Structures are given as structure tokens and as C-alpha cells.
Amino acid sequence: MEILVCVKRVPDTSENEISVAGDGKDIQRDDLVYSVNEWDNYAVEEAIQIVDRAGGNVTVVTVGGDDSEEILRREMAMGANNGILLKDDAFEGSDGKGIATILKAVAQKSKYDLILTGAQADAGAAQVGGMLAAMMDLPYASLVNKIEIIDDKKLKIGREIEGGNQEMNEINLPCVLSIQTGINEPRYVGIRGIRKVASVEIPTYGAGDLGLAASAVGVAGAKVKKIDYFVPVLGDGAEMLEGSNEEIIAKLIELLKAKGGLK
């Protein structure tokens, strides 16, 4: 099975204090530590496990700058066979539709049986996977937390639905799936693995190579415009509980009892 996994370089929330930048248009990006989007890492692990069972290749692709090469190499050290970097000044400022347009162009350069994205990334839009599927006219399932191969034409997939319930579906290949965390346990990537792929060539494609008009992507193609970023003011009645976990739990139980939420 030929599998394409879309991966994004994002600020690592376990390593950074995230704050809003002075101009209110973005987060403060100076000195941030970046890593691969957590959901995408699960997607790559799942793709590697599928190829271990069914044969084939895993290709990881990202839309980003030179810095994004580092996450492609990390995922290749994990076991992905190939990496592709999509880089062009024209891609900067792309909205979700722009990113999906770029990914569609590279997906159509080869024949993939399965395309995986993360369920969401740092901007939290959760739109790229669904848009990519719609643009490619492929079947799509979101929040996938289980994949079984039925045959070379069909997969059985599980989806996490409201209230912790589970849904099972059959889906035709080729298809696009957005992967939920917890679907597997991503393997550890050691420094030896990273060194092994350090000099592997990673092809880079720009708008021209992908046959994309600059007006379809980037700021020029964006139809959604970010106009403000801010931390909401605490509303009346909102209360931040402080202290150790035990102290917070005790205060929360006290509050819930006082307000009739707990008997």
C-alpha cells in the first residue's frame, strides 16, 4: 500500500509557554521549540504499521520552510521511506484551503492508496484533511482511532464519537483519513535513527513544479483572514482555582456541592 502522510511543524506545547504576540495577529514565535504535530506523529506510526502488515511505502510530506525538513527527517528516522518538502514564497500565508490545494497537487503527482492527516494541528482548524478529500473527490473519515485492512480495496475503520462511543465503518480505497491520537503508541526515535537519515535527499517542490498558480495559494488565495488573537477576559462568576492538584480537586468538589452540582 502506498501511503502519503501529511505532517506539520508546530510549536511544542510541552516545551513552550505560549503567549499572544504584541500585534495581536499571531502567537509570540521568538525562541519557540518546534516539533512534529502530535496527531501527525500518530498518523505516521499507523502508516508504518500498515506497511509492515501489507507492504508498500510511507511518504511524509509537509508544506513549510527549510526548518520543516527537520520534522520530515524525524518521521523518516521513525520508519517513513520518503520525505517531500513543499516550499515556496507563494505558499506563505495560506489558509486551510490553500494548504489542502498544495497537498492535493503533490498527492496527484503519484498514486497513493491511502492519505493520512492528523485530526487537527496547532491552529486547531481541523479542516485540511476534509478539504483535501473533497478536492480530490475521495471518501473521507475523521477522528479515526482504528484501522484494519479488509483487502486491497477496503479498510475497516473505527471513529471516536461523542460520549466516548465508538463507530465502525467500511471505507473504499483510495481514501483520506484524519487520525486521532491514541490510535497506537508512536515508537521512540533515537539519535542513531536520526543520524541514519541525516543525508537522505529530500525532494523540494514549489508552486511551479506542482502546476499551481500563485493566486490559488498563500495570502493571494486565502479567503479566511485572521484578524485578531487574544486571551479572553474572565467573565463575571469565572473563578480560577489555584494550588496543587489535590487542593484544586478539593476546592472544585466544595464548589460543585455549594452550587448544587454534586449531592
Q: Which is nearer to ligand FAD, 146 or 178 (CB)?
A: 178
What is the C-alpha to C-alpha distance for residues 214 and 203, in angstroms, rounded to an integer?
Answer: 20
Binding ligand FAD (rule: CB under 6 A), the pick from 3, 6, 147, 171 is 6
- Bridge pairing between strands 140-151 and 154-161: antiparallel
186 binds ligand FAD (CB under 6 A): no
Binding ligand FAD (rule: CB under 6 A), the pick from 36, 44, 47, 63 is 63
Q: Which is nearer to ligand FAD, 12 or 251 (CB)?
A: 12
90 binds ligand FAD (CB under 6 A): no
DSSP assignment of 102-156 equals HHHHHHTTS--SEEEEES--TT----HHHHHHHHHT--EEEEEEEEEEEETTEEE
Looking at residue 36, what DSSP letter applies? Answer: E
Residue, CB closest to ligand FAD: 118
Binding ligand FAD (rule: CB under 6 A), the pick from 21, 224, 241, 248 is 224
What is the C-alpha to C-alpha distance for residues 223 and 93, in angstroms, rounded to an integer?
Answer: 11
121 binds ligand FAD (CB under 6 A): yes
Helix axes 69-78, 38-54, angle to 10 degrees: 40
Q: What is the dihedral of CA 12, 13, 17, 21, to 10 degrees?
A: 70
Q: Which is nearer to ligand FAD, 21 or 249 (CB)?
A: 21
Binding ligand FAD (rule: CB under 6 A), the pick from 27, 33, 125, 252 is 125
Residues contributing to the site for ligand FAD (CB under 6 A) = 6-8, 37, 39-40, 62-64, 92-96, 99, 117-118, 120-129, 222, 224-226
